[in-house]
């Protein structure tokens, strides 16, 4: 009996899921646990695995189509098995089934699935961006599936080929430059809509400040060395900033608020959002009731949520309900930037890259470590002075780091 494969419910708030890529076509054999499609919902993208061994009998939901959770997206069964579906099977799909039932006379060496090779979504995007022919890439994943690593190897091999500049022929510039049109869908589409809505629905202003974290760097190193004698905990600069943010929000409750329908909502608890960059976008996991967490607990929870986000295992519930967000671009060498509010939140803090610089301490010139901070806030909720006061409080905690762990 044919097995129904349905659109999974990735979280309690999920209303629709979209098939971003089919890895298998009608008539293809599949093993139990083998990836047959990639789906996305909100900011989650994941593979759907086959629940049984058999053959793809039909595909009911096409790529780019969104359907509610529980909707049947395909059937898996015996090669000649007939299935009953609410709507007629598409002509192209039925033809493929009929062709499989016909006796084969001579097989020609063709690629599996033609222009629908087995390839991960990330690998496909990388190949398109690098202008690579995916039919020429040898897949090393399960069932010959092309992975990100396969594309990277081809790109490295291509880049390593020396070019003789004397023999290089420069083609004539075309009258009209060629263009590539990339449909905005899935996670990118959601991010695009939310960022536009954020800027259109709030009055955003960004303040910047530099913090001397020389003492914090020393304390961070000492604390990490002590903790690693007992476990693998490694405290980062972001961990200390997160704890300092929580303490500062307790002193400035209006920053831990939201502007909703001409009302300012002051939150009792602090649910701290931590922006995590993914290969095809970003997500904001939430540490709930952060005011009750120690520095070590904030560090462990933040790292665990980030790991789940990068593995595509983060439930939608863990990406909702934040009251203040932190975004860190320090790893990219950025100092100050303008983070966009995760509306309806009132504030978002941007962390830049720490750098060393000579600085006068009294009459002495010393080498100090400076951390750039950027605070974007909603001017409808509070004015520049109270927002600057929040930054000053945060600066005080970071420049007197012992107060963060007391």
Catalytic residues: 379, 383
Q: How many CA atoms lie within 13 Å of 146's alpha carbon, on the beta-carbon side?
A: 26
3-state secondary structure string across the chain: CCEEEECCCCCCCCCCEEEEEECCCCCCEECCCCEEEEEEECCEEEEEECCCCEEEEEECCCCCCEECCCCEEEEEECCCCCCCCCCCCCHHHHHHHHHHHCCCCCCCCCCCCCCCCCECHHHHHHHHHCCCCHHHCCCCCHHHCECHHHHHHHHHHHHCCCCCCCCCCCCCCCCCCCCCCCCCCHHHHHHHHHHHHHHHHCCEEEEEEEEECHHHHHHHHHHHHHHCCCCCCCCCHHHHHHHHHHHHHHHCHHHCEEEECCEEEECCCCCEEECEEECCEEECCEECCHHHCCHHHHHHHHHHHHHHHHCCCCCHHHHCCCCEEEEECHHHCCCCCCCCCCCCECEEEEECCCEEEEEEECCEEEEEEEEEEEEEEECCCCCHHHHHHHHHHHHHHHHCCHHHHC
| CA gap 380, 278 in Å, rounded | 31
Contacts of 159 (CB under 8 A, 6+ apart): none
Decide if 353 contacts 390 (C-beta within 8 A). Answer: no
Rounded Cα distance, 379 and 160, in Å = 52
| CA 292 from centroid of its chain's CA atoms | 27
CB 266 within 8 Å of CB 256: yes
- Other C-beta atoms closer than 10 Å to the C-beta of 71 total 15
């Amino acid at each position: 009996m044919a097995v129904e494969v349905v659109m999974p419910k990735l979280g309690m708030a999920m209303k629709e899921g979209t098939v971003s890529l089919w890895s298998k076509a009608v008539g293809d054999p599949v093993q139990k646990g083998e990836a047959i499609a990639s789906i996305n919902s909100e900011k989650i993208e994941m593979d759907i695995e086959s629940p049984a061994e058999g053959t793809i009998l039909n595909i009911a939901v096409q790529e780019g189509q969104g359907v509610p959770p529980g909707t049947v997206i395909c059937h898996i069964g015996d090669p000649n098995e007939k299935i009953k579906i609410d709507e007629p099977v598409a002509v192209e799909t039925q033809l493929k089934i009929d062709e499989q039932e016909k006796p084969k006379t001579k097989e020609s060496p063709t690629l599996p699935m033609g222009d629908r090779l087995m390839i991960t979504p990330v690998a496909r995007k990388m190949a398109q961006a690098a202008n690579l022919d995916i039919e020429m890439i040898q897949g090393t994943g399960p069932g010959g599936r092309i992975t990100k690593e396969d594309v990277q190897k081809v790109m490295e091999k291509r880049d390593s080929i020396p070019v003789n500049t004397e023999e290089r022929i420069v083609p004539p510039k075309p009258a009209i430059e060629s263009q590539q049109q990339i449909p905005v869908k899935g996670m990118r589409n959601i991010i695009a809509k939310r960022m536009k809505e954020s800027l259109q629905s709030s009055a955003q202003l960004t303040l910047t400040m530099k913090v001397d974290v020389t003492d914090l760097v020393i304390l961070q190193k000492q604390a990490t060395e002590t903790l690693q004698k007992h476990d693998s905990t490694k405290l980062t600069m972001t961990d200390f900033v997160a704890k300092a943010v929580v303490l500062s929000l307790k002193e400035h409750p209006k920053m831990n608020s939201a502007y909703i329908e001409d009302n300012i909502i002051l939150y009792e608890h602090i649910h701290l959002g931590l922006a995590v960059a993914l290969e095809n976008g970003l997500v904001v996991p939430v540490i709930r009731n952060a005011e009750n967490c120690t520095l070590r607990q904030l560090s462990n929870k933040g790292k665990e949520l980030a790991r789940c986000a990068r593995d595509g295992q983060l439930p939608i519930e863990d990406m909702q309900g934040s009251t203040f967000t932190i975004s860190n671009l320090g790893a990219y060498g950025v100092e100050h930037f303008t983070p966009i509010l995760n509306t309806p939140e009132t504030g978002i803090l941007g962390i830049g890259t720490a750098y060393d610089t000579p600085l006068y301490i009294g009459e002495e010139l010393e080498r100090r470590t400076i951390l750039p901070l950027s605070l974007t806030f909603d001017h409808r909720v509070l004015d520049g002075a109270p927002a600057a006061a929040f930054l000053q409080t945060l600066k005080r905690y970071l420049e007197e780091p012992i107060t963060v762990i007391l």
